[in-house]
Amino acid sequence: MSNPAEDRPTTEVEADAAVEATAEAAVEAAAPRPAPEAAPEPEPEPERQSEPAPPVFAAAPSPVRRRPAKAPSDAPAWLAAAFVSILWALAPIAFALGYRQGKSPFDHDPFVLLILAAMALGPAGLVWVAASLFVEGRRLRRESGRAARLADEMVAPAVAAGISAGEIATGLQAEVARAGEAAERMARQLEGLRAAMEAEAGRLDAAARTAGSAAGEMAAGLGRERERLEGLASGLDARTTAVTDAIARQARLVGEVSDLAETQLREAEAAFTAGSTGFTDAAGRLADSARAAGETLGQQAVRLEGAGASLAEHMSGVERTLEARRTGILAAAQALRAEQEGLAAEGEAHLARLSEVGGQARLSAADMRDSALKGARPCRP
C-alpha cells in the first residue's frame, strides 16, 4: 500500500506544474497579438470603383503546453521506511528473546534504559510526525485549493477576453460589411443623382435653347412687325399726303369755280349793262352756274368727309392693331420671363437637393467611420 503522506509531494509538484501551465496559457491568450503587416496598396485605376476587401484578422495562437517536471523517485523514502519498520519490529523481539535467555547486554542498565526509552519515545515521535504530516496535508490541500482558485480566476478573464475579442471582431466585421453596403448604396444613389442631374441639365439646356430660339423668333417677329408698322406709317403718310393734295386740288377747283362764277357774274353784269334783253338769260345761266357750283362744292365736301372718316377709321384700326401687337409682345415677354424664372427656381431646387444629399452622404460616411473606429478601438493593443 502507498503512503498518502509520501504521495503528497508528487501531487504538489503536478499541481504547481498545472498552475504554471494554466497561468502561462492565460497570459499568452490575454496578451495583445501584433497585427500582420499590411501589404502596400496598389494605386487605384482611374474611373474604377474597387470593392471593399474583407478585414483580415490574425489567428489566435494555440497556447504552449509545457510538460510537467519529472517527479523525484519515491524508492529512497520507501526503503528508509522499510528499514525503520524492520528495526522497530525487531527491537521488541530482540528485547524479549534476550530477556528470556538472560543475555549479558540486557544486564547493563543504561542499554536497557536506552532501548526502553527508544520504545517509549518511538510512538510519541510517530504521533508527532503524523500530526505534522496531517498539518502539512491540510496546508497542502489549502494551497492546492488556492492554486485551483487562482487558476480559475486567471483563466476566466482570459476566456472572457477571448469571447469579448471574438464578439468585438464579429461586430467589427459586421460593421465593416454594413459600411461597405452603405457605401455601395451611397454610390448607387450618387450615380442615380448624377444621372438625374445630367438629365435635368439636358432638359434645362434644351429649355434654354428653346427659349433662345423662341426669343430669336420673337425678335424676328418684332422686327417684321416693326417693318410692317413702318410700312403702314409710310402708307399713312402717303395717304395723308394724297388726302392733303386732294383737298388742295378741291380748294383750287373751288377757287377756279369761284373765279369762273365771278367772271360769269362780271360778264353777266357787262351783258346786263350792255343790254337788258339778255338779262333774264344771263340771270338763268348765272343761277344754273351757281347751282352747278353749289352741287360741285357739296359733292366735294361729301367726298372730303368720307375721306376723313375713312382716314380716321384706318388710323383707329392701325392704333388697335398696334395696341394688340404691343399687348401680345408684353404677354410673350412675361411668359418668357416666367418660364425663365421657373427654370431658374427648378435649377436652384435641384442644386439644393443635391447639396442636401451630399451633406447626408458626408454625415453617413462620418458616422460609419466613427462606428468603425469605435469598434476597432477595443481590438488595439
Q: Looking at the predicted structure, is the pLDDT value of residue 32 above 50?
A: no
How far from chain centre, in Å, is Cα 27? 44
Residue of higher predicted confidence among 24 and 88: 88
Q: What DSSP letter does each residue of 212-254 carry, written as one string?
A: HHHHHHHHHHHHHHHHHHHHHHHHHHHHHHHHHHHHHHHHHHH
Q: CA torsion angle for 242, 247, 253, 257 (degrees, to 10)?
A: 170
- Which of 60-74, 141-155, 224-238, 241-255 has the lowest average pLDDT? 60-74
Q: Model confidence at 93, in pLDDT bands (50, 70, 90)? A: confident
> Of residues 70 and 175, which shows the higher confidence score?
175
DSSP 276: S
136-151 pLDDT, tens digit each: 989 999 998 888 888 8
Closest CA to 55 of 143, 228, 177: 177
Segment 351-367 mean pLDDT:
73
Per-residue confidence band for 154, with pLDDT thresholds at 50, 70 and 90: confident
Q: Is the pTM of this model over 0.85?
A: no
- Helix or strand or coil: residue 102? coil
Cell (9 digits) for 106: 540486557
Tell me: the pLDDT tens digits for 310-333? 777 777 777 787 777 778 777 777
What pLDDT is stored for residue 18 in this prediction? Answer: 57
Average pLDDT, the chain: 71
Q: How confident is the model over 60-75, as pLDDT tens digits? A: 444 445 555 566 777 8
Provide the angle, in degrees to the nearest 10, between the axes of the packed helices 4-30 and 75-101: 170
pLDDT at residue 130 greater than cutoff 80: yes
Which helix H or strand E contains 164, and what residues bound it? helix 109-274
